[in-house]
Amino acid sequence: MSVDEQVLSYPIPNDAALEPPAEWARLRDKCPVAHVTLPSGDRATLLTRYQDVKQVLADPRFTRLLNAPDAARLSADEDGGLFSSEMAAIIPDGGEEHQHWRRLVGKWFTAKRMSAMRPQMAQIAEDLIDDMVKRGAPGDLKASLGFPLPVYVICDMLGVPAADRDRFSYWSDTLLNLTRYSKAEVDAAQAEFFQYMSDHLAAKRRQPGEDLLSELIAAGGPEDGGLSEIQILVTGMALLVAGHETTANMIGKMVSMLLADRSRWERLLADPSLIRTAVEETLRFDANAGFGLPRYLKEETEVSGTVLPRGTTVICSMAAANRDESAFDHAEEMDLTRSPNPHLAFGSGSHSCLGQALARTELQVVLEVLLRKLPTLDLAVPVTELERVEGLAVGGLRTVPVRW
């Protein structure tokens, strides 16, 4: 049977925490437009080549309207979590409306604003590392630093109390985990989260602060060039979720990748000016990036010479694309000096990650502070014992045990 005829299960099972599955290279080479079966049993089309993934993510015919009746369901439940939730549909999918939303919110995520937040982030990182050191080695870098730091930062930007972070953490897990929760659990969590955010916004209306949500409220409704109430609410929920698991998991994966071969860590100790390109390279190299991005095709289109009928659900594997030899020299090698590094970890085109300057700044600051404070940092377990979190739309490691 040729690769073409085989129907692969997706996500592709993989036990290695940091290594890509062997299928990626084969798919890119022999079967760039592959049929896969999702956990729901529905069929989808998997793309693994750099050029294809990049093109499709930026092409408006490939929509994010995963709640279309004939779109593939991602998980076994009726409702595919974040991607097909009603929530996802409230933020405009494309065109001018999306651009308008993006610009209203995007001004909060400019590179300059993020650079201005660096000292604050560094202070948070230092405090969290001090606490971890006080508790003694080995510590879990994910729970001690990776998770709390991005949460403190996004809570501060949104003006929500970081003390509620355990609840956000549960809510965002139910939205991002495609297999772990029942539909009833997901619905209940979404309803609670929704209520929490509406109460929070009502409080902000009464007593505005200097945070992002207060200013979105102050910008007025759609008639004044602002957003509707429900859009502000969903934006707040989306930012809290997006600002939560993604960077948190990436901090753990980044540090694990750099420590997996300790010569990488030593190179950065010797030359911290490589921090920026090193962060980009860990984003590119992340073989545990999660589900990839699903898109629903509104009209017939061709990709890599294959005609995709209207109604196709496409899964873009950015992580597989990021290992494509035709786009990156020695793609299978981690090169801390790689430049330029046009990886697709944040997507591509008009929907590419709105929080990428924030994520990059957080990752750079964490690495800088860790190298400075804990130069002797090392993994406390062999790399082979690191375990993946299963079922999450955003890939991660369960724990990142470290000593110093």
Partner 1 sequence: MKITVDEAKCCGAGQCVLIAPEVFDQRDDDGIVVLLQPEPDEAQHAAVREAAAVCPAAAIDLSEHP
Interacting residues toward ligand HEM by CB under 6 A: 57, 64, 102, 154, 238-239, 242-243, 246-247, 250, 293, 345-347, 351-355, 358-359
Binding partner selected for residue 374 from ligand HEM, partner 1, none, CB under the kind-specific 5 to 8 Å limit: none
Q: How near is the Cβ of 385 to ligand HEM at its closest, in Å?
A: 24
**Could you say whether residue 347 binds partner 1 (CB under 8 A)?**
yes
- Interface map 89-128 toward partner 1 (x if CB under 8 A): -------------xxx-xxxxxxx-xx-------------
x/- letters, 248..277, toward partner 1 (CB under 8 A): ----------------------------x-
To ligand HEM, the closest distance from the beta carbon of 295 in angstroms equals: 8
Interaction partner, residue 247 (ligand HEM, partner 1, none; CB < 5-8 Å by kind):
ligand HEM
Report, in Å, the least distance between residue 288 CB and partner 1.
22
120 binds, among partner 1, ligand HEM, none (CB under 5 to 8 A by kind): none
Which of ligand HEM, partner 1, none does residue 359 bind (CB under 5 to 8 Å by kind)? ligand HEM
Assign 3-class secondary structure to the chain.
CCCCCCCEECCCCCCCCCCCCCHHHHHHHHCCEEEEECCCCCEEEEECCHHHHHHHHCCCCEECCCCCCCCCCCCCCCCCHHHHCHHHHHCCCCHHHHHHHHHHHHHHHCHHHHHHCHHHHHHHHHHHHHHHHHHCCCEEHHHHHHCHHHHHHHHHHHCCCHHHHHHHHHHHHHHHECCCCCHHHHHHHHHHHHHHHHHHHHHHHHCCCCCHHHHHHHCCCHHHCCCCHHHHHHHHHHHHHHCCHHHHHHHHHHHHHHHHCHHHHHHHHHCHHHHHHHHHHHHHHCCCCECCEEEEECCCEEECCEEECCCCEEEECHHHHCCCCCCCCCCCCCCCCCCCCCCCCCCCHHHCCCCHHHHHHHHHHHHHHHHHHCCCCEECCCHHHCCECCCECECCECCCEEEC
Please pick, from the candidates 307, 350, 385, 387, the single residue that binds partner 1 as defined by CB under 8 A: 350
Asked if 360 touches partner 1 (CB under 8 A), the answer is yes
- Please identify, using beta-carbon distances, which residue of 107 and 167 lies nearer to partner 1: 107
Among 207, 263, 273, 339, binds partner 1 (CB under 8 A): 339
Least CB distance to ligand HEM at residue 105 (A): 7
Rule CB under 8 A: say whether 351 interacts with partner 1.
Answer: yes
Choosing among partner 1, ligand HEM, none, which partner's interface includes residue 106 (Cβ < 5 to 8 Å by kind)? partner 1
| Cα distances (angstroms) measured from residue 345 to each of 48, 289, 363 | 13, 8, 14
Shortest separation between residue 118's beta carbon and ligand HEM, angstroms: 15
Instruction: Give the footprint of partner 1 on this chain (CB under 8 A).
Output: 58, 102-104, 106-112, 114-115, 276, 339-342, 346-354, 356-357, 360-361
